[in-house]
Amino acid sequence: MKGKTGCLLIAAVMGISLLTACGSIDSATASETAAADSTVSDSDPASDDSTSVQADSSDATAQDESSDKITVTGSATLTVRKLLPDYVLDETTMQCAVVTEFQDTPYIIDVGEDIVSELQEGETYVFEIEDTEVDKNFVMQDGALVEKAVFTNYPVKIKSVRKADENEIGLASKQLEIK
């Protein structure tokens, strides 16, 4: 049964006919799966229905890709652990910061020369960002926005920075939102 399940999954993901992909599956299993997923056809392998299924699934994929873009806005409370130069552009001018979210691992963000002068290592700041378009598949986990994924995967422009108030530190530090 395990082999049949894996084969069914591969056939469903690839959008091809079950009988074409898995000739050994009995007709009861194939009809149950076809009823559950209307995009998979259980027709004769020689028919042209499998190509229409492939075209339908590629149209659905194209629609999904356009709807995967979201705009992230707001601010993030981050603790600056270290200030670094951007070694690609200039080895001496500080432009990057190693930061951490509350009880999380560090990562590097580009803050720019003008904002880095306002930062001190060991202090916690609220970084306000400009609206940034991102792919929700890379920044969402279990329905929640992952700030670290936004900062590490996209060129986020920081508008302003200020020291964090006491009520903005800790669990209340998640302030980025979907626009």
What span, in angstroms and rounded, lies between the C-alpha atoms of 43 and 148?
46
Q: With contact defined as beta carbons under 8 Å apart, do 168 and 102 qualify?
A: no
Rounded alpha-carbon distances, angstroms, from residue 15 to 2, 38, 66: 20, 10, 20
Question: pLDDT tens across 122-138, in order?
Answer: 999 999 999 999 998 88
Rounded alpha-carbon distances, angstroms, from residue 149 to 64, 72, 101, 157: 20, 11, 12, 14
Radius of gyration for the alpha carbons in the chain, expressed in angstroms and rounded: 24
Which tokens is 117 given?
A: 């002068």
pLDDT category, 169, cuts 50, 70, 90? Answer: confident
CATH 2.40.50: which residues of the chain? 69-178
> What does residue 25 show for φ and ψ, rounded to 5 degrees?
-75, 135
Question: pLDDT tens across 27-72, in order?
Answer: 444 444 444 444 444 444 454 554 444 545 444 444 455 568 999 9
Closest among 24, 49, 53 to 38, alpha carbons compared: 53
* Over residues 104-129, mean pLDDT: 93
Which tokens is 55 given?
A: 């075209």
Closest among 47, 39, 5 to 22, alpha carbons compared: 5
pTM: 0.60
**2.40.50, 1.10.3470, 2.60.40, 1.20.144: which CATH number matches 69-178?**
2.40.50
Instruction: Please work out, in degrees rounded to the nearest 5, the angle formed at the alpha carbon of residue 134 by the alpha carbons of 155 and 148.
Output: 65
